[in-house]
Amino acid sequence: MPEETILEGFDQKRDFRYKQYKGKNLIIESKENGKGVIIQLLSTDPNDFLNQSFLPGNEIIWE
């Protein structure tokens, strides 16, 4: 595999933020226009992870 493929986007700074969304703590990656992509749900309740709205990769509006 070429090195460029492996290291693609490695130099880009990713903007991770901690946000409360529907009463749960999330780590989101901030995008334009107040949107964010869910990276991780911070919860100890296993049922929260079955909730579709907290699935990693989902886009949410946080602003």
Partner 1 sequence: MEVPEKEPQNQEQGQKTELINQLGQTQLPVAKSNIHVITIVGQVEGHLVMPPQNKTTKYEHIIPQLVAVEQNPEIEGLLVILNTVGGDVEAGLAIAEMIKSLSKPTVSLVLGGGHSIGVPIAVSADYSFIAHSATMTIHPIRLTGLVIGVQQSFDYLDKMQDRVINFITANSKVDEDTFRKLMTTTGELARDIGTVIVGKEAVKLGLIDELGGVGDAIRKMNALIEENKFKSIGVH
Distance of closest approach, residue 43 Cβ to partner 1, in angstroms: 8
In the list 8, 17, 51, 56, the residue contacting partner 1 (rule: CB under 8 A) is 51
What string of DSSP letters covers 15-52?
A: -EEEEEETTEEEEEEE-GGGEEEEEEEE-S-GGGGG-G
Beta-bridge partner residues of 28? 17, 38
For position 44 contacting partner 1 by CB under 8 A, the verdict is: yes
Question: Which residues of this protein are in contact with partner 1, per CB under 8 A?
Answer: 10, 13-14, 16, 33-34, 42, 44-47, 50-53, 61, 63
